[in-house]
Amino acid sequence: MMRKEEFWLDVPVFQGGMGVGVSLGGLAGAVAAEGGAGTISTAQIGFRETDFAENSLRANLRAIGKELEKAKKIAKGRGMTGVNIMTVTKHYGEYVREAVRQGADFIVSGAGLPMDLPSLTKESKVKLIPVVSSLKAAGVICKRWMKKEHRLPDAVIIEGPQAGGHLGFSKEEAEQEGSRWYEDEIKRIIHFLRELGQEHGTYIPVITAGGFRDNKDLLRQQELGADAIQAATRFVVTEECDAAPAFKQAYVNCQKEDIAIIKSPVGMPGRAIRNAFIKHTEQSRIPPEHCYQCLSVCNPRETPYCITQALIRAVTGDVENGLVFCGAKAWQEEQITTVHEVIREFMEVQDM
């Protein structure tokens, strides 16, 4: 039976998975080397492979192994390195099985409910971490996993309304200032997981996410009962981040009013930096030039734009004509820093 004091990480900081190509082996390995958990996004992870357009699935599966190997080499045995796999990913099961085969320490899965994750990872030691935004979602996942596979999550990430990228909230909820209104739901989810763990003789660690910047935020989440936090935006503006310099600079340059809630082809609200691309999509549809078979929920003949193309343009440096996902507090980033410095700011108590 795991106890609270036996949590896996020396540094209770998860780096959130960011795709396409924002968090690959370079960033994930650097975070793990500091004692935290580095997360590689598998969303179109093989976009730099020569056969990506021809066979994106083959390219993506190959790249999972390459990026995990790179991350583990950088980490040198410290921390943990794992992957984020969205449940709406087409061929989801193949991505999960490949991540297990390549030795991922953990799999984070959200953008939907990862109901089949345990059945896809039988007899492996990989830690399974679903992402939820409500008590209802946490209950549905745990009930299904226990009924079908007689297991519980190894940890749960509670993602709040201040997070970046795809959100499990309505546009109105995501636009509310701050996230204190959401803390009661966090407490309810944690209480549920604590009781469930006790009932089954285990302990389910909780990682909270969304808008965290420093030690003050970490301490507040620990007061609520969380074991660790997940941060993503803070790690974008680091030298180790895998995105192009122009992508990182877009965070440094943006103002609070530049951050918007958009409707994504995934079918969920998303938070991004408002630019020429977003303004274009508000006026007219941008027909996909090619289908990369990325999302199970996408119809190329109806989608407002190709999210793969938009994300690749942004991460490779064309930040005005691509989709730049970000957290609610991206406008507070003022300079490019390092992973070591970000971790330090989370772990060290600051003078008041």
| Backbone φ, ψ for residue 225 (5° rounding) | 115, 0
The answer to whether 129 and 157 are in contact (CB under 8 A) is yes
Q: Rounded to an integer, what distance in angstroms lies between the CA atom of residue 310 and that of residue 275?
A: 12
Q: Rounded to an integer, what distance in angstroms lies between the CA atom of residue 40 and that of residue 299?
A: 26
What pLDDT digit, counting tens, does each position of 1-10 carry? 455 556 789 9
pLDDT at 92 over 80: yes
pLDDT at 100 over 50: yes
pTM above 0.85, yes or no: yes
Q: Which two tokens stand for residue 245?
A: 């310099």
The answer to whether 237 and 252 are in contact (CB under 8 A) is yes
Residues 6+ apart with CB under 8 A from 135: 185, 188, 189, 192
Q: Which two tokens stand for residue 187?
A: 């407490």
Pairing between strand 106-109 and 206-209? unpaired
Residues 6+ apart with CB under 8 A from 72: 29, 32, 81, 103
Share of the chain above pLDDT 70, in %: 97
| Backbone φ, ψ for residue 215 (5° rounding) | -60, -35
Q: Rounded to an integer, what distance in angstroms lies between the CA atom of residue 209 and that of residue 157?
A: 7
Closest to 271 in 3D by CA, of 313, 226, 326, 234:
326
pLDDT of residue 3: 54
Closest to 264 in 3D by CA, of 168, 173, 330, 159:
168
What pLDDT digit, counting tens, does each position of 273-322 carry? 999 999 998 888 888 788 777 777 777 777 888 899 999 999 999 999 99
Q: What is the DSSP letter of 100?
A: H
Q: Rounded to an integer, what distance in angstroms lies between the CA atom of residue 41 and that of residue 223?
A: 29
What pLDDT digit, counting tens, does each position of 199-252 carry? 999 999 999 999 999 999 999 999 999 999 999 999 999 999 999 999 999 999
pLDDT of residue 5: 53
Q: Which two tokens stand for residue 117?
A: 């994750």
User: Helices in 204-349 by DSSP H: which ranges?
Assistant: 215-224, 233-236, 245-253, 276-283, 307-315, 339-347
Helix (H, G, I), strand (E, B) or coil at 107: strand
252 burial type by CB count under 10 A (0-12 exposed, 13-18 middle, 19+ buried): middle
The answer to whether 340 and 34 are in contact (CB under 8 A) is yes
What pLDDT digit, counting tens, does each position of 22-55 carry? 999 999 999 999 999 999 999 999 999 999 999 9
Q: Rounded to an integer, what distance in angstroms lies between the CA atom of residue 183 and that of residue 185?
A: 5
What DSSP letter does each residue of 265-284 carry, written as one string?
A: TTSSEEEEE--HHHHHHHHS
